[in-house]
Amino acid sequence: MDLKLSDEQSMIKKVAADFLKAEAPSYVITEWFQEKRAFIPELYKKTAELGWLGMMLPDEYGGGSASCTDCAAVFEELGHGPLPGPYFSSGVLAAEIILAGSSPAQKKTLLPEICNGRSVVIPALSDDPIQWGPRSVQTRLTKTVTGFVLNGIKRFVYDGDAATSFICAARTETGGVVLALVDRNAPGVSVKPVLGFMIGAAEVRFDDVAITADNFVGDWGVVERALIKALPILCAYKVGACQEIFEMTNEYTCTRVVFGQPIGRFQRVQDHCVDISIHLDGARWITYETLWKIDSGIEAAANVHQAKAVASEAYYQSCNFSHMVFAGPGTDYKHPLMAHSVAAHTLYQYLGTPLYHKRAMVDALYPRQSSAA
């Protein structure tokens, strides 16, 4: 048993923390959130130079052959920001989908471009915003004389506006789900940012978009295989975010004086900090154990769903408890808590809500007998 990061992982983590401090300090990130700027191309290029895009991909495709825990160490620091941008959606999730589902030729052309940051490949999976998972895929793939066409509207595609291409999930005429690579500039593709209490979402329309057979990168099973390695990285990002909220909230209880004393002396206020600690540490250790299982080759499907549920809930609740402590000032879009609050709500929905993943966790552990009925 050894519950600390290796020296090398601690070093990677420190590099990421220093990078964030220098390139994207909290007040800058808060500004980006205010302006709804979810993609900063110059910064994205720098992270490519640091090897953070496609970090877990094999060397031969331009990746760093990093373990999940190595990669999580970086993303935990990015979560402190919370740094917006397609670092996860393209650099982790799309990379893992292509690695799991593409032909060797596709991998050779696509993956190095993801790693060097020239391609930003964004998964556009669900159509129905209420649900997530294969059942919510409604975009249709229809056969034509020369190939196929795609038709449908993906209403909330995370990091959609940063895309150079999409991995679009579509339903075939026989009812299956396939994944198709679509160039952002292909005729019939349109992207419109969705504004609101969220960051980075865009509506992506596919109107009679022509597809050829070499655009396919697999079926829904490929997404599920990719998510096993990808989701815990997103969870680590949320753990870092919770840690940041925990620290800034605790500090505020020492400096903010009301009724003649620091508010940290009020037990009601202390309780909020205690609740953040529970959410933070729950998310941290569930995530870490999941990372360890994956890196050790231990079956972790249920753990991955559990981690996603716990970390999403933790980030969301940590923001809420922090809002209880910061009160009015914390609701100012210029306050760092607001960036977190917006990110937490977005990531609560992204790739399935806690309820979805809790159910998937139980289904993975105790499959339903009546599923056939």
Query: What crossing angle do the helices spanning 301-326 and 267-295 adopt, rounded to 10°?
Result: 160
How many C-alpha atoms does 187 have within 13 Å on its Cβ side? 3
Q: Please choose, out of 34-42, 86-94, 193-201, 267-275, the segment that lies near another protein by the rule CB under 8 A.
A: 267-275
Q: Within a 10 A sphere around the Cβ of 276, how many other Cβ atoms?
A: 26
Q: Please choose, out of 86-94, 101-109, 279-287, 328-336, the segment that lies near another protein by the rule CB under 8 A.
A: 279-287
Contact 121, 114 (CB under 8 A): yes
Calculated CA dihedral for residues 307, 313, 316, 318, nearest 10 degrees: -90
Q: Work out which of 18, 208, 271, 332 binds another protein, going by CB under 8 A.
A: 271
State how far the Cα of 340 lies from the Cα of 348, in Å rounded to an integer. Answer: 12
Site for another protein in 197-256 (CB under 8 A): 250, 253-254
Q: Name the helix (H) or strand (E) containing 237.
A: helix 220-255
Site for another protein in 281-300 (CB under 8 A): 281-282, 285-286, 288-289, 291-293, 296
Pairing of strands 216-219, 201-211: unpaired
Q: Work out which of 261, 299, 327, 329 binds another protein, going by CB under 8 A.
A: 261
Contact 30, 336 (CB under 8 A): yes
How many C-alpha atoms does 186 have within 13 Å on its Cβ side? 24
Least spacing, CB of residue 16 vs another protein, in Å: 17
Q: How many residues bind another protein (CB under 8 A)?
A: 47
Q: Is 5 in the site for another protein (CB under 8 A)?
A: yes
Encoded one letter per residue, x for contact with another protein by CB under 8 A and - for no contact, window 344-373 reads -----------x--xx-xxx-xx-xxx---
Q: Please choose, out of 91-99, 108-116, 124-132, 266-274, the segment that lies near another protein by the rule CB under 8 A.
A: 266-274
When the beta carbons of 37 and 359 are compared against another protein, the nearer one is: 359
Contact 153, 137 (CB under 8 A): no
Least spacing, CB of residue 95 vs another protein, in Å: 23
The contacts of residue 104 (CB under 8 Å, 6+ apart) are none
- Computed on alpha carbons and rounded to an integer, the radius of gyration of the chain in Å comes to 21
Encoded one letter per residue, x for contact with another protein by CB under 8 A and - for no contact, window 107-126 reads --------------------
Q: Is 164 in the site for another protein (CB under 8 A)?
A: no
When the beta carbons of 146 and 267 are compared against another protein, the nearer one is: 267
Contact 182, 189 (CB under 8 A): yes
Going from the C-alpha of 281 to that of each of 16, 189, 305, 315, the distances in angstroms are 21, 43, 17, 11
Q: Where are the beta strands (DSSP E) in 8-132?
A: 121-124
When the beta carbons of 138 and 270 are compared against another protein, the nearer one is: 270
When the beta carbons of 150 and 360 are compared against another protein, the nearer one is: 360
Q: Is 131 in the site for another protein (CB under 8 A)?
A: no
Encoded one letter per residue, x for contact with another protein by CB under 8 A and - for no contact, window 48-77 reads ---------------------x--------
Q: Name the helix (H) or strand (E) containing 167.
A: strand 165-171
Q: Work out which of 200, 240, 264, 352 binds another protein, going by CB under 8 A.
A: 264
When the beta carbons of 99 and 273 are compared against another protein, the nearer one is: 273
When the beta carbons of 2 and 42 are compared against another protein, the nearer one is: 2
- First vs last C-alpha separation in the chain: 44
When the beta carbons of 73 and 111 are compared against another protein, the nearer one is: 73
Q: Which residues bind another protein (CB under 8 A)?
A: 1-5, 69, 250, 253-254, 261-267, 269-271, 273-274, 277-278, 281-282, 285-286, 288-289, 291-293, 296, 306, 309-310, 355, 358-359, 361-363, 365-366, 368-370
